[in-house]
Structure 1
C-alpha cells in the first residue's frame, strides 16, 4: 500500500492524532500558567488520546500483513488487540491520572490565578476536537447504512473509526466539564471545584474505556458477520438445485473486511464426488464475487440427519 493511500484510508486517525498533539501542548502550557487541575487532567487526556491513535495506526499497519505459515488467516485481528490495549490505556492512564490529580487538588487546593489562558485554550481545543469528531462521525455515518448509531457501533468490525468517535466524544465532554470547573472555581472562589471537575473527567474516561473494552473484547475473541451477510450466503447456497438443505452457516471476522465462513449443506444423493467438487468450487467463486469480504469459504457436505444428531440444528 502506498503512503498516500495509507494516509487516505486512515484519515480519521491521522486527523485525530494531529489535533490531539497540538491540544495536549496547549493544555499543559495553560495548566502550568494557571495551576488548573482540570486543565492538567485534560492535558493527560490528550496525551493518552495521541498515544491511542499511534497504537491504532500501528495496528492498522500490522493487520495488513499477508497470511503466512504461522498465521494462515492473516494478521487482521491484531487491530482488535491494539483496540483493547487502547481501552486499557484510557482507563489506567487517562482516567487514573485525572481522578488522582483531581483528588490531590481537592484536598490541597491551589491559589486561583487568571483563567483567561484556560478559556482561550479550551476554546481552541473545542474547535480542533470538534473538527476531528466531525471527520470521524462523517466516516462512520457513511458506513453504518440504515442502522441506528448504537446498533451500528455494536455491529461494526472496524475499531479504527468507532474508537475515535468514542475518544472525541469523551474529549468534547471533558472540555465542557473543564470549562465549567474553571468558571465555577473562580465564580464561587472555591478552588476545590476545579479538582471535582478533574475527577468528573476521570469518570467520563473510565466509562468510555469500559465501553471500548467491551466492544474490543467481542472482536478479539471473534464475532459473526453481519446478519444480512449471513442471510445472503444462506440464500445463495440454498438456491443451488443440487443442495437439498443448508444445515448451518457459521462466520467469524478475521479482520474488519475479512470473513471466514463455514457452511454445512446436505447435497443431492445423486451427485458423484467429481461433480460435487466442481459445483462446490463454482459456488465458492460465485460467493466471493458477490461478497468480496468472504476471504475463506469452506463448504462441507453433510446429511441433514447427521447434522441434527450432532446438535447443529
Structure 2
C-alpha cells in the first residue's frame, strides 16, 4: 500500500488544474457579455449557476467512472428514473426523506450492478451501461404508462430556484450542495486510500492488482457512486420539471461526458479530478447559454460543442497513456 501511496502522489502532482479552464470561463463570459443582451445580469449568472449545479452533480459521477477507464451511458436513464420516482412517490404522499433515500439506493444499486458486471466478466462498460440504462428506462415507462406523473414537493422547487438564497450567500441551495459535494469528492480522491486506489486502477489495472488493489471493488464503487449522483441529479431536477419526466435526463448523455472533457480530464483513465469537472460544468453551461443567446438551434449547438470537444481531446489524445509508463 505504501507503493500505491507513492505512485498516486506522483500521479496527482500532474492532476492540478492549470489556468486554462479558468481563462476559458473568463473568456466565454466576456464574449457573452459583449454579444448577448443580459448575459452578465445577476439573474442570468444565478440561473447559469443552477444549471451548472445539475450538470456538475451528474458529471461528478461520470468523472469517477472515467478515472477508472470506463464510461457510464446509464446516466441519462438514472437521472430520468430519479426524477420520475421523486415526483410519483411524492404525489402518492410519501415523505420526502424516505423518497430521497429510496431514489439514492436505487441509483446506487444500478450503478453497483454496472461496475460488478463490467469488472467480473470483463465486459466493456459502454455495452453494460447502455443495456442497464435501457432496462431502467423500460421499467420506468411501464410504471408510469409513459405519461407525466406526480408532482414536485414545494421545498424542492424553492431549493432549486435561481432566485433562492442560502443564508447570507446569494446562491441557490442546490448550487451550495454541488460545491460541497465537489469539495468532499476532491478531498476523498486526493487525501484518502480509496482515492489513491481509484487512480491506481485507472492508470494500470494489472499493476494495481499486483499492488493488492481490488480492481473489482474499486470499479463497482466508482460506478455505484456514478449511479447515486445521477439519481440525485434527477431528484433535484424535479424542482425544475414540476412532475415526473423521464426524458429530462436525455441531454445529459452528451453534456455529462462533455463537462468531464471540457474540464481537461483525460478519457484515457487515471488523470483528472473534481475541480476540473466543476470547471468543465461551468464552461459548458456558459457556452450553451451563449449559443442559445445567438439563437442557434439544438442541432447547431451540438455541432459546435462537439467540435470543441474534439479540439480539447486532441490536445491530450496523443499523450502516452500512463499505464504504459508503469
Q: TM-score normalised to the size of structure 2?
A: 0.27
Structure number with higher relative contact order (C-alpha < 8 Å, ≥ 6 residues apart) = 2
Q: Whose helix fraction is larger, Structure 1's or Structure 2's?
A: 2
TM-score (norm 1): 0.28
Bigger Rg over Cα: 1
